[in-house]
Structure formats: structure tokens, C-alpha cells
Amino acid sequence: MVPSSAAPEATDADAVEFVRFCYRRRRVGWPELYDEMCAVAGRGLFHGYDADDLAGLGIGFSLFDMPALSVLAARVIAEEQARRRPVTVAIVAEVPPSAVAPIPEPEATVPRPQATVADPATGDPGERSFEVPIRLALAPSGA
């Protein structure tokens, strides 16, 4: 059975909105989205509709209704992903050269932090020294 031929041509707008509602709750693919749709229908979270009300809209959860439901879900997922694609926006402003302040050059003789190593036997700081580079690392905030 080919899923693309199992989709009805005319789909109820509420059926599409139901699938979109479920996809926006959990942005997952088909098998997990089916689980989410079952959970939403079981709890009546979409306008209070249960599985019987959704069956009247063309949303069936049986094995025989699954090909049509998967095609509808794929269509809604594609629409939602296309809506979320990044868009490049360029803002161009004409600024006269006299309005731009020159950027000062950084000083070439910036002192770097120095560390000295003490001799473990005497505790006396020796002539050995080394530079300690400063490292910055990006870390995600929150979790």
C-alpha cells in the first residue's frame, strides 16, 4: 500500500490544525508524533475533542487509518519546518564617512601575566618563569 495514494484529497481544516497542534507540542517525526496525537486525543487537549470527535474530522488512530494520517502529518511537518527556516535579512544604511569615528589601534606592548615557579626544595622563587595564556571557552547556559 502506497501512503501517498491513501491520503484524502480534501482534509478538514480542524484535522490539519489538530496535527499542527500536536507537532507544536513536541517537534518530533512520525512515530513519536503519532504517540503525541494519541495522548492529546486521549486527554481531550485539542478543543476538548476525543478520539471519536477526531474520527469525525478524518483523524483515525486505527491501523487502517494510519497511512492517511502519516501523509497528513508529513505535510504538516513540512509546512512547519519551511516556516521555521532561517531567513537572511540585510539592513543597509548610508552613513557618511565623516560620521564614522576611527577605531584606535591596540597597543603592541600589553603586559601579559607572568607566573613564577618556586623551587620545591627551598621554596625560593627561581629564575624559571612562564607565561600563562588566558583561555576562554563557550559553555551553554541553562540545561
For 14-48, what is each residue's pLDDT tens digit?
999 999 999 999 889 888 999 999 999 999 999 99
Do 47 and 12 meet the contact criterion of CB atoms below 8 Å apart?
no
| Domain assignment of residue 29, yes or no | yes
| Domain assignment of residue 53, yes or no | yes
> For residue range 81-110, what is the model confidence (pLDDT) as tens digits?
888 877 676 777 776 767 667 777 766 665
| Domain assignment of residue 100, yes or no | no
Domain count along the chain: 1
| Domain assignment of residue 128, yes or no | no
Reported as a pLDDT band with limits 50, 70 and 90, residue 70 is: very high
| Domain assignment of residue 117, yes or no | no
| Domain assignment of residue 131, yes or no | no
Q: Tell me the whole-structure pTM to 2 decimals.
A: 0.54
Do 23 and 33 meet the contact criterion of CB atoms below 8 Å apart?
yes
Do 55 and 15 meet the contact criterion of CB atoms below 8 Å apart?
no
| Domain assignment of residue 125, yes or no | no
| Domain assignment of residue 8, yes or no | yes
What Rg value do the Cα atoms of the chain yield, rounded? 31
Q: Which domain holds residue 33?
A: 3-84
Question: In the chain, which ranges are continuous DSSP H helix?
Answer: 3-6, 13-25, 30-43, 51-57, 66-84
Counting beta carbons within 10 angstroms of the beta carbon of residue 126, is it exposed (0 to 12), middle (13 to 18) or buried (19 or more)? exposed
